[in-house]
Amino acid sequence: MADDGGYLLDNQQAEAGVRFDALATLFNPSTFRHIDALGVAPGWRCWEVGAGGPSVPSWLAERVGPTGHVLATDLDVSWMAPDADYEVRCHDVGADPPPGDGFDLVHARLVLVHVPQRAAALAAMVSALRPGGWLLLEEADPMMQPLVCPDESGPAQRLANKLKRDFRTLMAQRGVDLSYGRTLPRLLREAGLVDVEADAFFPVGGPACALLEQATVRQIRDRLIAAGLATDEEIDQHLNNIATGLLDLATSPMISAWGRRPA
């Protein structure tokens, strides 16, 4: 049975800003490469779903210029400035009607896997596209590559992987589909989109991976302990191991899939 304890990585927590910055460092280059390849240009109307922080909508606003429009939505919009050069709106993509239509681009990264009404959210995003408009979805697939330390060479790496398994246990209890990323191409085709393609990307090592892991572990620490999955000592040891800089920490593969609404 799914745990109803809420979203594990609450944007209200202090570590959320660190996570947003690390995710931007790790994945914005791949995201921006995909959007550029789709032809984003001045005058485009874009909907950034579950934006979280400002990095993607700010970049989009620069690309579409003053003749375009970028709408950034999220359940929690506190990390985006109300006077930004894009529109900010509180919105639940799984429950609320689409906040408009005729978008040239709809983009969501690390959003749908956390939405209980995933099918409704996907349908809403497709319906918001103009004929010929593009939908770009990016979701992690933790079960495709489940290790935070793929080179499990010693006790520090084994502990890291053990805590990652514990984290995914909590996610699964909350209804997160840990294999969702790989389904995106099929889901886009089934939604009626054409020219569907996909690829995958994941970093292995580097400061941003370490920052992301530290912030994530600190956010879920109390929940891991309360569930009896980990101890204070294990978590302290893992955080100390990260601080040494000797762990090659990886992310889950990020699956990017895109498709076009028929003209």
Beta strands in 62-201 (DSSP E): 69-74, 87-90, 103-109, 129-140, 194-201
Q: What is the pLDDT of residues 193-202, one digit of tens each?
A: 999 999 999 9
Mean pLDDT (whole number) for 258-262: 98
Mean pLDDT of the chain: 92
Mean pLDDT (whole number) for 164-176: 90
Tell me, what's the pLDDT at 30?
97
Whether the pLDDT of residue 8 is over 90: the answer is no
Indicate the SS3 state at residue 81: coil
At 3, the pLDDT band (50, 70, 90 cuts) reads very low
Cβ atoms of 255 and 141 closer than 8 Å: yes
At 10, the pLDDT band (50, 70, 90 cuts) reads low
Mean pLDDT (whole number) for 145-174: 95
Percent of the chain with pLDDT over 70: 94
Single-letter residue type at 173: Q
How many other β-carbons are positioned within 10 Å of the β-carbon of residue 253? 19
At 5, the pLDDT band (50, 70, 90 cuts) reads very low
Single-letter residue type at 180: Y
Mean pLDDT (whole number) for 26-35: 97
Q: What is the pLDDT of residues 220-234, one digit of tens each?
A: 999 999 999 999 999
Burial of 21 per CB tally in 10 Å (0-12, 13-18, 19+) = middle
Nearest to 66 by CA among 86, 80, 88: 86
Start-to-end CA distance of the chain, whole Å, equals 42
Beta bridge partners of residue 72, listed in sequence order: 48, 88
Distance CA 196, CA 187 (A): 10
Whether the pLDDT of residue 211 is over 50: the answer is yes
Percent of the chain with pLDDT over 90: 83
* Alpha-helix runs per DSSP H in the chain: 15-37, 55-64, 118-127, 155-173, 184-190, 207-226, 232-243
Distance CA 261, CA 151 (A): 42
Distance CA 70, CA 110 (A): 19
Tell me, what's the pLDDT at 248?
96
Whether the pLDDT of residue 2 is over 60: the answer is no
> In terms of pLDDT, which residue wins out, 13 or 191?
191
